[in-house]
Amino acid sequence: MEKKHKIKGLIAAAFANYDQVGNIDLDGIPAMTEHLVRQGLRGIFICGTNGEGPSLSTAERMAVAERYIKAIDGRILSFVHVGHSSIAEAKRLAAHAESIGADYISAVSAFYFKPSSVENLVDAMAAIAAAAPNTPFYYYHIPAVTGLQIDMLHFLALAEQKIPTFHGIKYTAATLHEYQACLQYKEGKYDILFGYDELLLPALAVGATGAIGSTYNYAAPLYLEVIRRFEAGAHEAARNLHFEAVEMVQLLVKYGPIPVQRAIMKKIGLDLGQPRLPLTLLDEDNEQQLMTELEQSKFLDHVALYQ
């Protein structure tokens, strides 16, 4: 039985860059890429949730993907998210991603007219993947956003039959028992990348080797140290360091994940501009309170230390 190669390490789900009038800031992508390369990341996930892919036009998403692929220049892996509520647009994005040399593509489920069954979902993903027949495909499982709760083991069993390029799952859910079952499916046949940063350590404990997340944009070295300590058997030290990341993530819940993280990126010197509505930035008072709480939690010390 053929096993897919497994990606080891962290992949940052890059944020969208906008200029002062709300247009995509393509010229800011090289600086963002250099920052992410310096963080010690294995790859960049482009136009996903944090990249506000669903809020961008197809032309904008193509332009962003092109600029990232050029800036990455083969140094780390490129994942282009091509999911769309229009399967036709998703296929266009998939074909484009392959044409510009993306290492991988990934697609979330349609989130307006939702698939009615696992079979229906797999058929939709198969149609998207077929538009990039030479590029490995990951399904992007994020039920908290799509509202689509499905049996992922059933999905794996059907996907391997219908999607020749199927490589694995970007698993963004807290159901660690199912995550572990997907990791173990057919003796680890597929690559199951974990997507909840605040549960990285528990995911490592059940077998995760690769992960995609938003906080890796500015705190990857902290998480890489968690991984190093875990692999060295220093489990208490790994738990203590991981909890500092957990305390920070609790603030994302309190103030809003994307506004908080865009504020942190600005704090470290990468101003990403105003996100697209309905997303907004923190107001001045909330941003000041956020920074106070981050300083009290010592998290900013870790971010500053690793720049």
Residues in binding site:
212
Which positions make up the binding site for pyruvate? Answer: 212
Give the C-alpha separation, 221 to 302, whole Å: 9
Task: Pick the catalytic residue from 91, 138, 139, 170.
Answer: 170
The answer to whether 18 is a known catalytic residue is no
- In the beta sheet, which residues pair with residue 141? 171
Give catalytic status of residue 140 as yes or no: yes
Catalytic residue chosen out of the listed positions 140, 190, 218, 255: 140
Distance (Å, whole) CA 270 – CA 266: 5
Residues designated catalytic: 140, 170
